[in-house]
Chains A and B, each alone.
Chain A
């Protein structure tokens, strides 16, 4: 066996704290190693060329590169050795950057550790077996989860590109957060006027199949061949009959149902259509408030419905869709007022959130676009906006900036002046963050043309005094305490991950950060991919994002799906589990532990019961191998022997 080892400097990233020359020198002494060298940038073209030449010249049959994480460049080097005529699995990578040089400062210790890491990789590569991938067919249908602006954009782009699209939306209508907004910054154009046509396009596109008021129940399969179970939640209204006339909503005697669309600004009916432009424009019963469900009698809507669409007996329905790729666009959530005890924790009706104020400003909102404060329905003359309500606050677990609040506060302050010309708005801010195109001009306009008073400082307390809400805060530029007697206070509450985001990530087998936002494959270079192939991200599910960024990502995700589907066949990863039927005792524990349902029972001709791995479904996670009591199931490229060789390499020296 002839192993070649290439130690990368990665500029100063590795060479700064690891003596790479010594690592190479020590490596040369290892049994099996016939060639070892160090190079400035092994991943560069000349670096790869050097590997190829060494393979030819030194007649190498195994290659180890000690450099960065295999996540970065394993694929690069596999291709390199393959081009030089080796099997791509006769290659190992020792991570001496993330695991060693970046985390330790002591050069001596780092160098020793790097030598050990290389020893392990060499031991592993000498035990590697050649593996060959097979190819499989791709189902060229895509599923988009979430019908907000990002998901709609992704769905439309995919559909326009000729793909069949399954769009799944949790709430009764598509449109997401954008459908709730009044105007959009920095152009002050009507949000629903620009979104509405897109929503109609989605509804009318022959390639898009829309499941509204539906949730993802289960996802099975792998890139190119997913089976997704979708739960169509019971609406208690037969949508094939419902015409969206709204007669039921008008006559419904329950007037105190929580209005999810309006974020509880005003109550709604127990049967309702969320908003006039809803797609689909269909009614839905909320059984937590409906008298037919809570008291067992009423039936008004059933009597009034001209098409007989009401069905109190309706149950959830599970449907299965076969698809080949998934775009996740599940959006974001917002902090609720209960997070702010110092601002009343929701006890004061005239302290509201930004999204609630958006509904009050909106012409189709509960006040028909007249600014009226919730407590007494009077027009507020003094409005105070509190930015960073929760954002950039470690104590509340949100150390990050919510991205778009500075902008929407400026917009809402401008709109307040437009609606109530004799009003005065104040904004308490930490920093004004407006780095988008035309954004800074916009916040300046709020201050200079609309007379919005910006106070740099935090608000410590909000309390009622008569009919006013007193907002007490610091003016850090003047170095004084300020108190403003406001009629209405709007909190720009922090953007958080969507409710259930972590749960969805587990179903998708994608990773999420501590805040519940989904993690992209690379923060700069693979912004819409995930580490699960075939699953792409769009919009604020990946992090707080405004409309232009969400739309951009929606299109980007769609283009990734289109390029994935440009091939008819995909290559499978051969690093999957394999059963040695001679050793298998047929206990089938592995069937139970496999998180992907990739193992099934098989009866051999001899009548012996054994486990069988479904190659295309296995994700190579290795859970089965540690479950198996007799070592009969082995993960290819990570077999017990290969891993033990690594352990021996460092324990026997």
Chain B
């Protein structure tokens, strides 16, 4: 009874229908584990829709747009009945088909009728779909993300990799910049972790072509990895199961076929968040990565310890010859 109006609103705002998608039950199990932990830590409630089904992903819309929309809309219809307004999905591919179905059906009455004719329960167009990154970045916010941090990573340098469809096409994604996205950069920076900017944030990883055209995917993976390393990164953060797979699983393949020697861990951004929040590597599924991130995990230190270390460093720097400083000050005044 004593819950204020504002409190109610906050609670309502942080309730999400959680559509994990198929990858997160298989190859990207660790994305699911880390995301659930992080969301819980940030006070967001994720509820899995009952009896959710395949989103249709890439194969469906290459065949038939109505059929593809129906596969996605079936899930949206379930969520519509759940009495939460926002659906969140960690997988960019799921997000794209869910949003595409929603926008197609709300923007075109005849398309909506065509799709609903295929469904047992019609979708009326009342669900907002957001990527989990968007929920964390926009709904939860950078301050809340920073508040929860208990561990620091003095040596970690992360190159965030967004992949091709998290922010594209812009009319459908309606989030962040399609060419130079910054949401993940800001989230990771808010954790106190150093972020490296580079040009290949949205470059193609090869997606599902790893099966029919392995050589091509290896070449693309090689490009992304080397650009990130050239930018000084020792870790790549991702938000897409397929990107993770191509960059992580195929690293050995790239090394073998292209004479490279990559050994850079590819972490879900939620795993980095989890580590900064003090969760154990096991809880975050770190052991499921192909390229080991053990050395990075070992480098983390409690935030108080890290602050003390920084203070000591600052004190050391103060003792350094003041003459040099004075000289520099004089120089700037001259100019």
Contacts and interface: CB of A to CB of B under 8 A. Distances in A.
Contacts, number: 15
B179 A345 contact: yes
A341 interface: yes
A464 interface: yes
- Most chain B CB atoms below 10 A, which of A341, A345, A347, A466: A341
B199 A341 contact: no
A463 interface: yes
Interface string B56-100: 000000000000000000000000000000000000000000000
A342 interface: yes
B178 interface: yes
B177 A341 contact: yes
Interface in B213-258: 227, 230
What's the dominant secondary structure at chain A's contact region?
Answer: mixed
A464 B180 CA distance: 14
A347 B199 CA distance: 11
What's the dominant secondary structure at chain B's contact region?
Answer: loop
A464 B178 contact: no
Interface string B321-334: 00000000000000
Contact of B180 (A345, A465, A466): A345
A558 B254 CA distance: 70
B179 A341 contact: yes
Contacts of A463: 199-200
- Most chain A CB atoms below 10 A, which of B179, B199, B200, B230: B199
Interface in B166-180: 177-180
Q: Interface extent on A, as a size class?
A: under 10
A465 B178 CA distance: 21
A465 B198 CA distance: 10
Interface string A364-396: 000000000000000000000000000000000
A466 B230 CA distance: 8
Nearest to A470: B199
A471 to B, nearest CB: 12
Contact of A341 (B178, B200, B227, B230): B178
A466 B231 CA distance: 10
Contacts of B177: 341
Interface string A594-605: 000000000000
Nearest to A348: B199
A347 B178 CA distance: 15
A126 B199 CA distance: 74
A345 B179 CA distance: 9
Contacts of B227: 465
Contacts of A466: 230
Nearest to A253: B335
Interface string A464-502: 111000000000000000000000000000000000000
A14 B180 CA distance: 54
15 contacts: A341-B177, A341-B178, A341-B179, A341-B180, A342-B179, A345-B179, A345-B180, A347-B180, A463-B199, A463-B200, A464-B199, A465-B199, A465-B227, A465-B230, A466-B230
Interface of A: 341-342, 345, 347, 463-466
Given A341-B178, A341-B180, A342-B179, 10 more contacts: A341-B177, A341-B179, A345-B180, A347-B180, A463-B199, A464-B199, A465-B199, A465-B227, A465-B230, A466-B230
Which 5 pairs from chain A and chain B are nearest by CB? A341-B179, A463-B199, A342-B179, A464-B199, A341-B180
